[in-house]
Amino acid sequence: SFRASTSTITNLSPTSITHGQPVDITVSVAAASGSGTPTGDISLITSNNRSLGFFTLNAGTVSTTTSSLPGGTYTIMAHYAGDGTFSPSTSDPSAQITVDPEPSTATLTAQTLDENLNLIPFTTGTYGTYVFLQSTVQGLSHQGVPTGSLTFYDDSGYITDYRYLNNQGIASTPNYLNSQIGSTPLGLFNIPTGQRVMDASYQGDPGFYPSNAPPLALTITQAPTTITATAAGDSQGAYLSALINTNSGGNSPSGSVTFYINGNSVGDAGASHWSDAIVGANYALIGVQSSTDYFNAPLANGSYTVKAVYNGDQNYLASTSPEVKFTLQPDFRFEADTDTITVVPGRSGNLTLTLTALDRYNGTVAFDSSSCEGLPDGVACSFSPTSIKGSGASTLTVTTTGPSAAMPRDGRFLWWATIDGFGLAGVVIMGIPLRRRRLWLVALVVCILLMTWAGCGGGSSAPAKPPAPPPANPTPAGNYTITVKAASGSIQHSITFTLDVT
Domain 5-100: top CATH class? mainly beta
Q: What is the pLDDT of residues 294-343, one digit of tens each?
A: 998 788 889 999 999 999 999 999 999 999 999 888 889 999 999 999 99
Mean per-residue pLDDT, 209-216: 97
pLDDT at residue 245 is higher than 80? yes
The C-alpha atoms of residue 219 and residue 482 are separated, in whole angstroms, by 57
pLDDT at residue 466 is higher than 60? no
pLDDT band with cut points at 50, 70 and 90 for residue 455: very low
What is the identity of the amino acid at 254? S
- CA distances 203 to 134, 143, 151, 196, 483, Å, are 15, 18, 8, 22, 66
Q: Look up the CATH number of domain 226-329.
A: 2.60.40.10
Mean per-residue pLDDT, 424-434: 47
Strands of the 372-373 sheet, one edge to the other: 340-343, 491-501, 478-488, 372-373
User: Is there a contact between 481 and 492 (Cβ–Cβ < 8 Å)?
Assistant: no
The C-alpha atoms of residue 32 and residue 1 are separated, in whole angstroms, by 14
Residues in the chain: 502
Q: What is the pLDDT of residues 267-294, one digit of tens each?
A: 999 999 999 999 999 999 999 999 999 9
User: Is there a contact between 100 and 207 (Cβ–Cβ < 8 Å)?
Assistant: no
How is residue 83 annotated by DSSP? -
Provide the β-strand partners of residue 355.
Answer: 334, 392
List the one residue out of 148, 118, 124, 125 whose CA is nearest residue 135: 148
- Per CATH, which fold does 333-402+477-501 belong to? Immunoglobulin-like (2.60.40)
Q: What is the pLDDT of residues 25-66, one digit of tens each?
A: 999 999 999 999 999 999 999 999 999 999 999 999 999 999
CATH of 104-221, one of 2.60.40.10, 1.20.810.10, 1.20.120.1770, 3.40.50.2300: 2.60.40.10
Q: What is the pLDDT of residues 146-186, one digit of tens each?
A: 999 999 998 877 677 789 999 999 999 999 999 999 999 99
What is the identity of the amino acid at 257? V
CA 358 to chain centre: 36
CA 423 to chain centre: 78
The residue ranges of DSSP E strands in 119-225, in sequence order, are 119-121, 124-126, 132-139, 149-154, 157-158, 163-164, 170-172, 194-202, 211-212, 216-221
pLDDT at residue 348 is higher than 50? yes
Quote the pLDDT of residue 359: 77
pLDDT at residue 422 is higher than 50? no
The C-alpha atoms of residue 310 and residue 58 are separated, in whole angstroms, by 80
